[in-house]
Structure 1
Amino acid sequence: MLRYTLMRLGIFVGCLVAVWGLVYVGVFPRGLGDSNGMWILLLSLLISAPISYVALRKQRDQASAQVVTRVDRMKANLEANRGQEDSADDTARAQGQTS
């Protein structure tokens, strides 16, 4: 999961540098007034998203498999805890009825 995140961040930073360079050279417009920084960030995000989607497909599938495994493990732990609570409750009720 960390690997996927770092790779995605790397693609974004690469796009940010490329867009900044293209705006600096004058290929892309500079934005309106003081919005130059926001323009560069948004344009970089817009460009890096489809690149990440295509280039990191394998890593994204691996990361989602890890997430599914963690969720399944957490569900099993919650179910086991719920079962322990139910048996403890049943035991306490049984002891309360015999007293």
Structure 2
Amino acid sequence: MLRYTLMRLGIFAGCLVVVWGAVYSGIFPRGFGDSNFLWVLLLAMVLSAPISFVVLRKERDRASVRIVGRVDRMKANLEANRNQEDAADEGPRAQSQPS
């Protein structure tokens, strides 16, 4: 998951540099007044999102498989704990009931 996040940040940083250069060279329009930095950030986010979606598809699938595995292990551990608690609770109940 960390690898995917770092790759996504890298794509965003690359887009930020490209957009910054395009805005200051006049290819893209400048923002209004003091909003130029926000304009550059917004353009970089808009450009990096579809690029990340396409380029990082395999890495995203690998990350989701790892997450699903962790969730399944947690569910199995919770179920095992419930079963242990039920077994521990049934023992004293069975002894206290008259035969």
* Shorter-chain TM-score above 0.5: yes
Supply the distance in 1 between the matched residues of 2:95 and 2:34 (Cα, whole angstroms): 74
Supply the distance in 2 between the matched residues of 1:88 and 1:79 (Cα, whole angstroms): 14
CA shift for structure 1 position 94: 2.2
2:36 counterpart residue number: 36
Which fold has the larger relative contact order, with Cα–Cα distance below 8 Å and residues 6 or more apart in sequence?
1
CA shift for structure 1 position 70: 0.5
The residue correspondences of 1:60-79 to structure 2 (distance < 5 A) are 60-79=60-79
Q: Give the gaps of 5 or more residues in structure 1.
A: none
Corresponding letter in the other structure for 2:4: Y
The residue correspondences of 1:17-28 to structure 2 (distance < 5 A) are 17-28=17-28
Supply the distance in 2 between the matched residues of 1:11 and 1:67 (Cα, whole angstroms): 23
Give me the identity figure in percent: 71
Instruction: Tell me whether 32-41 or 12-21 shows the greater mean CA deviation.
Output: 32-41
CA shift for structure 1 position 46: 0.5
For residues 34-57 of structure 1, what are the alpha-carbon distances to aligned partners after superposition, in whole Å with 9 as ceiling and x for unaligned? Answer: 211111111101100110111111
CA shift for structure 1 position 92: 2.7
SS in 2 for 1:28: coil
Supply the distance in 1 between the matched residues of 2:43 and 2:93 (Cα, whole angstroms): 64
2:57 counterpart residue number: 57
Corresponding letter in the other structure for 2:87: S
Q: Give the gaps of 5 or more residues in structure 2.
A: none
Q: TM-score, normalised by structure 1?
A: 0.91
Supply the distance in 2 between the matched residues of 1:31 and 1:45 (Cα, whole angstroms): 15
Aligned length: 98
Supply the distance in 2 between the matched residues of 1:87 and 1:3 (Cα, whole angstroms): 42
Instruction: Tell me whether 23-32 or 69-78 shows the greater mean CA deviation.
Output: 23-32
CA shift for structure 1 position 23: 1.0
